[in-house]
Amino acid sequence: MKIGVVTFPGSLDDRDAQRAARLAGAEAVPLWHGDADLHGVDAVVLPGGFSYGDYLRCGAIARFAPVMTTIVDAANGGMPVLGICNGFQVLCESHLLPGALTRNQHLHFVHRDQPLRIASTRTAWTNAYDDGQVITVPVKNGEGCYVADDKTLDMLEAENRVVAYYVGNPNGSQRDIAGITNERGNVVGIMPHPEHAVEDLCGPGTDGLGFFTSLVGGRAASDQSRLEATALQR
């Protein structure tokens, strides 16, 4: 499996996301924001950090990058897409996910190891976890406060589209929401950083690796099922 990782001007965590993809058993493919070609990847990660134009509103300009036009079309066609931190902001600005990320309620940058409760394991990026499982991954943001109108929040919870909740809200996100998914379950946005929790040597442990092994394992299982079905037809 090939997982593309997009680099925007200002991206900080693109190399970390590439390493996480490799540790999960995938081939990491660097993608450039100015190149609309996805180079045959099976999935895409929009990494954390920053992107040009964030001074207007986080992700507001990055959503117009040539690569995003292709990613939006691919996501609408079913391609798995994971947006982490700034990538989550870009997904919301691109209207692949509802709501928005605004300045933290306390107006301070927050950086700490953050417990999360996994709330949905039906997505392409979270099926390696158990429902209700508590994991710990780093959080680092100044504009990580998830907001939406009450109708949207009710819909997300009723349809099991909240991927993870904060256990101890670090930024004032409404209803403690740390990440969400689209209706199809192939697009996930998460504000904390699973790519920084994939090795025991660095970070709080390996709890974040499941976001990447979910995709690789799910795809492998799907491929195996197709092979078995083909064999039965012969």
Spatial separation of the C-alpha atoms in residues 187 and 166, rounded to whole Å: 19
Spatial separation of the C-alpha atoms in residues 231 and 225, rounded to whole Å: 10
Cβ proximity of 81 and 187 under 8 Å: yes
Among candidate residues 74, 24, 21, 77, the one with its CA nearest the CA of residue 47: 21
Question: Which residues carry out catalysis?
Answer: 85, 193, 195
Give how far the C-alpha of residue 197 lies from the chain's centroid of Cα atoms, to the nearest Å: 14
Left if phi > 0, otherwise alpha if psi is -120 to 50, otherwise beta: which for 170?
Answer: alpha
Cβ proximity of 83 and 91 under 8 Å: yes
Residue type, 17: A
CB neighbours (10 Å) of residue 106?
Answer: 11
Residue type, 210: G
Name the CA dihedral angle for 159, 164, 167, 169, rounded to a multiple of 10 degrees: -90
